[in-house]
Amino acid sequence: MTTSTKTSLRKLENFALGKWTSGEGEGQTLYNAITGDAFASASSKGLDFAKMCDYARTVGGPKLRKMTFQERGRMLKELAIYLQSKKDIFYKISWATGATKADSWVDIEGGIGNLFSYASLRRQFPNESFCVEGEVARLSKQNTFIGHHICVPKEGVAIHINAFNFPVWGMLEKVAVNWFAGVPAIVKPATITSFLTEAVVREIITSGILPEGALQLICGSANGILDHVINQDIVTFTGSASTGKMLKAHPRLLEEAVPFTMEADSLNCCVLGSDVTPDKPEFDIFIKEVVREITTKAGQKCTAVRRIIVPENRIEEVRTALGKRLASNIIGDPNVEGVRMGSLAGQAQLKEVKEKVEQLSKSQKIIIGDFEKFEVKGADKYKGAFMPPIIFLNENPFKNTDCHNIEAFGPVSTIMPYKNIEEAIQLAKMGKGSLVSSIITADDKIAKQYVLGAASMHGRILILNSDCAKESTGHGSPMPMLVHGGPGRAGGGEEMGGKRGVFHYLQRTAIQGSPTTITNITNQYQIGAKYRLGATHPFKHYFEELQVGETLITKTHTVSEDDIINFAELSGDKFYAHLQPDSLEGTIFKRTVAHGYFVLSRAAGLFVDPPKGPVLLNYGLDECRFTKPIYPGMTIGVRFTCKEKIENDKPLAAANGTEVKVGIVKWVVDIYDASSEEIRKKYDVDVSMGDTVGIATILTMVKKKKQD
């Protein structure tokens, strides 16, 4: 290519320090994977990576950290809706990466789906910029000194170095998590497909939804950016294991103890259960799943099936079935009707895959596919980066082990036999750590044995049968609320995973102090903290008016024999301990005892304020414990305390068709013994005045004062 031609190419822009800017020089030439034509270039020369990192930390970080989880979640939802409206633009551009419409759907809509998923996660977090994690630790006998864990956003930047195969999903599945946690991002997509990432980032910036500094983009090389990381930063990498290992060993990462998450390409496998015969539906499920994983994105997936593990007596049947299905697979221009598989991302990838196929051919034989003898529809197979699916057969995978060590990152896979489930597990684990494995079986005993045997070397295991195959998301699809990653060769890290992924961007800090102090710091009531006693029943307060720690000390009720008998009749619970005093020998009970659910129900009768007010309904029960028996003649009271207030942006539909804005309030129902000393002595009850005999957390929906 001449210089004049090269300089006429459209130059991709980087988004740095709040501005779009072209890198200096000609940069790297980008090619259409279908036509082979050069159409753009990308350069990052001249970008100041140190300033970009500092800009993210000092401009984007503070703005995100001031937002609450609820606000960040709503921001993600708004962005997802906006990008949905622009997706047709992205589909047109995605074609040039070699992707079919189905491939692009996984990349584009899958990425937007991650934004939606993490937006919905806001309901599991408080309306605070921080969150409390786990259970309280009691650190003293009298409960005047406790410990807890608080999680705050890290004050650095998330640097995402992504692979070429998913230029949209690869970015959005990561930034959804760090933005929700309150951390800005610098995204470095693989340059060869960065033109699609650039298009998405342009729309994100145009939307104006994100705060300034929350996102920056590098389309060209990011070589040198790791020289500027600090201990509050987080680095993630998706790509080849060799590149990942090199980055992981960067001296700056070690010196600053920077978290580094690697999600590397791995030699994933799909196992056919020994119970499956060709006449069973699971056999067809297996063939479809394997073919889909070989042909989707032309095999350019970190989760693609590279090893097909089959009972030795089913090898020929699997070979025949795969051959028939792959023969009907039409390769070519994704814009042409009927095309089911596009090209690789470029000629460089095609060359690399051919080299790996040649290496694998030294220890196993090709039984399906030929690099020379295949048809391409609607395109020139020599100009585009096209190749056919290649299937090997390795008859002795325990001896010829290249298939467990060499990955051809394209539509390439190896069939191998096993004698029993133990051998199948051993072969699966010979991949030395994989992102995903799947097993297709109708026998749950086989499934259990495989899962327990193979789990230590896999980040995810899919079990498919005819019960779930229709709705299954498939072997190769990581889900936002489940972890994506794996041990060993797969990188040893985790991404996504719902709340687990969010905590990767938060600093967990143990805090210690009195229950009252910890309550005031966390805005979650801790047992033993000072009460806020008011003159008004808390059920008369609107959501905005309630204060954490606000407490009602109720009237008391003395439990009678009639209470127990009537509750047994009403509920149908006639367990012997409630009604049969002669059956108590050898039990912990000294006489017939009140039902735990009666005690909880009667407690509700004590703390509920009957007239119509801001409290609209009981929303549920989080936890409940009955810690001491209550016998007839004993008296109970309730300490009813506002534990936590949770924002809710989903209005409640009223019966008249209107919408009512509500918040969710958690209350501690602390049921205590209010019996006289005489009664406790009479029944030899092992409690003291005021001791807790039952405790629960209930949730209510409380009307907001402001309905506009």
Q: Report the C-alpha gap between 496 and 121 in whole angstroms.
A: 12
Beta-carbon contacts of residue 373 (< 8 Å; ≥ 6 apart): none
pLDDT given for residue 227 in this prediction: 93
Strand runs (DSSP E) across 173-300, as ranges? 185-188, 215-217, 234-239, 260-264, 268-272
- Residue 239: what pLDDT? 84
CB atoms within 10 A of CB 85: 10
294-321 burial: b if 16+ Cβ within 10 Å, else e: bbbbbbbbbbbbbbbbbbeebbebbbeb
Helices 281-295 and 315-327, axial angle in degrees (round to 10): 50
Kind plus residue range of the DSSP H or E element containing 620:
strand 615-626
- Residues involved in catalysis: 263, 302
Residue of 466, 465, 501 whose CA lies nearest to 482:
501
Give the CA count within 13 Å in the CB-facing half-sphere of 620: 3
pLDDT at 685: 58
SS3 330: coil
- What whole-number distance in Å separates Cα of residue 557 and Cα of residue 633? 10
Q: Are 274 and 315 in contact (CB under 8 A)?
A: no
Q: Supply the pLDDT for residue 5.
A: 46
User: Coil, strand or helix: which one is 705?
Assistant: coil
Q: Which residue has the tokens 């890198």?
A: 23
What spatial distance separates the first Cα and last Cα of the chain, rounded to whole Å?
A: 63
Which segments of the chain have a pLDDT < 70?
1-7, 676-690
Nearest to 694 by CA among 602, 579, 572, 567: 602
In single-letter form, the type of residue at position 334 comes to P
Per residue in 621-646, is it b (16+ CB within 10 Å) or e — as a string?
eeeeebebbbbbbbebbbbbbbbbbb
Q: Classify 272 in phi/psi space as left (phi over 0), alpha (psi -120 to 50) or beta.
A: beta
Which residue(s) pair with 133 in the sheet?
Answer: 149
The pLDDT value recorded for residue 242 is 82
- 166-191 residue pLDDT tens: 899 999 999 999 999 999 999 999 99
φ and ψ at residue 234, rounded to 5 degrees:
-135, 135
52-74 in b/e burial notation, b at 16+ Cβ within 10 A?
A: bbebbbebbbeebbebbbbebbb
Please count the CA atoms within 13 angstroms of the CA of 146 that sit on its side-chain side. Answer: 22
Distance (Å, rounded) from C-alpha 190 to C-alpha 177?
Answer: 20
Burial class (CB in 10 A: 0-12, 13-18, 19+), 526: buried
Contact 332, 377 (CB under 8 A): yes
Largest Cα separation within the chain, whole Å, is: 103
pLDDT of residue 649: 82
For residue 215, the cross-strand partners are 185
Residues 6+ apart with CB under 8 A from 266: 241, 302, 306, 407, 431, 433, 434, 435, 436, 486, 489, 490
- Taking alpha carbons only, the member of 141, 209, 149 closest to residue 175 is 209
pLDDT, tens digit (0-9, with 9 covering 90-100), for 575-622? 999 999 889 888 888 889 999 999 999 999 999 999 999 999 988 898
**Domains of the chain, with CATH numbers?**
44-264 (3.40.605.10), 268-478 (3.40.309.10), 531-703 (3.10.129.10)
Identify the CA nearest to 133 among candidates 69, 77, 73, 75. Answer: 69
Summarize pLDDT for 231-242 with one digit per residue, the tens.
999 999 988 888
CA distance 90 to 126: 35
Contacts of 223 (CB under 8 A, 6+ apart): none
Q: What is the DSSP string of 250-264?
A: -HHHHHHT--EEEEE
* 680 phi-psi bin (left φ>0, alpha ψ -120 to 50, beta other): alpha
Check residue 332 and report its DSSP letter. B
pLDDT of residue 1: 37
Please tell me the total number of residues recorded for the chain in this structure: 708
Residues 6+ apart with CB under 8 A from 58: 213
